[in-house]
Structure 1
Amino acid sequence: MPADRILERDYEVASRLDQLGLSASELISVVQQAVAAKANFVLNHPLNAAGQLSYIYGTGAVREVLRLKGWQIDRTDNIEATYNPETGMKIVFQNADSACDDGRDPKAISDKGPAASRAVDGGQMFLFPEYAEEEREALRRKNAALWYLFVYINGDDVRAELSFPKRIEDGQFKGFNERIYIIRRGEWASMIPGVAVGEGPAQDFEINVTRRT
């Protein structure tokens, strides 16, 4: 099912993220930390450790970036999210089996539970402010618009999108109100530091989080 709105051009992505109080560079830095964490997986770790490391450090990176701007840690219904009290928006880090593919909605690596389903359903009410105003303050945090930062990591193929699902059925997302492409296919190589031939691994470097044009 195609999303109601897909944003992939740099200028429209930047404009929409700015409306949400975000930037592409912030989200790219989150992805970089998640990728680095997943790369720390070794054979002696549990089989699911790579995904867990990515999720743990990805979630932490979202908070590290956004709490500096007034966002808050949120664990309503045991969902680890980052919440903006000014806009009523939450972001959840999500490992996914794909991202930035027009013909395919991102799918969570692990099925989503009933709490996530309720949270996604509750967040739809803020699409219609005329219905939300009466109870907005009391329900604002519980029924915040729940966005997911979907991150797909498969070797050198890394993609990411920030998307607002419509609902969850049978443990998976079913339809999206909006999908914002952050890292598209083929862009990852331009977003990681390079190592010159003959040099050892880079130790100290400044991460370049500018998008390729």
Structure 2
Amino acid sequence: MTATRIVSQDYEVGARLADWDLTAKEMIEVVRHAVAAKASYVLNFPLNAAGQLSYIHGTGALRDILRLKGWEIDRTGNIEATYNPKTGMKIVFQNSDSACEDDRDPKAISDKGPAAARAVDLGQMSLFPEFEIEAQQQKARENASLWYLCVYINGDDVRAELSFPQSIEEKQFKNFNERIYIIRPGEWASIMPKQDDDETPSRDFEINVTRKK
């Protein structure tokens, strides 16, 4: 088992995401949609509706952003992912019980099935360059590295990380190769724009991403 690489500082996060032509701002926009969708839950909805709404709208927002860059919808193994055919990377939106805590790995709110476990196992091949050509030539989608945008939403406490699990055991993530912190504890309030009570929310805005010292 290899040690988890944790990427948490501004310059590290930006540089790492840039490897895949991604930005923290784009990931935060996905989280914003998930938070808004969960907040639309009302008492008469089914009990699991809040999580389902955040998952549906989070997945949709992720695809809205990534498909403009050439990523593709991927449903291999009935896993709703977004796939980059150039880099061999997949991203899945995932509601989780935590995020961005060094001493605690995020756990999926919903259990992960055998298809997800297989996909994660196959995705480990991308860690080894000698398998890259073969993986790209033979079933590239199945062998894509499977990353999860883990989003924790608990009222005003919102966190997110983009993470690459090593395996899935007993229907849950088991260790991670890498965890990239997008929104750390206590940062959500400073990330979201302030607006007056009578101001109509705007869909387009600049997100000021700052880290607490």
TM-score category by the smaller chain?
A: over 0.9
Mapping of residues 111-130 of structure 1, within 5 Å: 111-130=111-130
Give the one of 192, 196, 203 matched to 2:201.
203
Structure 1 residue 126: deviation in Å? Answer: 1.1
Change (3 A) 1:170 1:201: farther
Name the residue aligned to 2:22: 22
The count of residues paired between Structure 1 and Structure 2 equals 211
Give how far 1:40 is off.
0.5
Which deviates further from its counterpart, 112-121 or 184-193?
184-193
2:149 is the counterpart of 1:149: yes
CA distance in structure 1 between the aligned counterparts of 2:2 and 2:99, rounded to whole angstroms: 13
Deviations 1:134-190 (A, max 9, x none): 342222111100000000000000000000000000000000000000000111001
Deviation at 1:194, TM superposition (A): 1.7
The residue correspondences of 1:1-213 to structure 2 (distance < 5 A) are: 3-196=3-196, 199-200=197-198, 202-204=200-202, 206-213=204-211
Higher relative contact order (CA 8 A, sep 6+): 1
CA distance in 2, matches of 1:167, 1:178: 12
Q: TM-score, normalised by structure 2?
A: 0.95
Distance between the aligned counterparts of 1:205 and 1:175, measured in 2? 37
Amino acid at match of 1:142: E
Match of 1:30, SS state, is helix
Identical pairs, percent: 66
CA distance in 2, matches of 1:202, 1:188: 20
CA RMSD of the aligned region, Å? Answer: 1.5
2:144 and 2:23 map into 1 onto residues whose CA distance is 20
Which whole-Å CA distance do the structure 1 matches of 2:180 and 2:201 have between them?
Answer: 33
Point out 4+ residue stretches in structure 1 off by more than 4 angstroms. Answer: none
Quick one: distance in 2 between partners of 1:51 and 1:151?
A: 11
Structure 2 gaps, min length 5: none
SS at match of 1:90: strand
* Rounded Cα–Cα distance in structure 2 between residues aligned with 1:3 and 1:104: 14
- Could you say what secondary structure the match of 1:121 adopts? helix
Q: For residue 201 of structure 2, what is the amino acid of its counterpart?
A: Q
CA distance 1:165–1:29, shift in 2 (3 Å): same
Local SS of the residue matching 1:64: helix
1:204, CA displacement in angstroms?
3.3
Distance in 2 of aligned mates of 1:18 and 1:135: 23
Q: Distance in 1 between matches of 2:3 and 2:198?
A: 44
Change (3 A) 1:205 1:60: closer
Deviations 1:38-82 (A, max 9, x none): 000000100000000000000000000000000000000100000
Matches of 1:84 and 1:195, distance apart in 2: 36
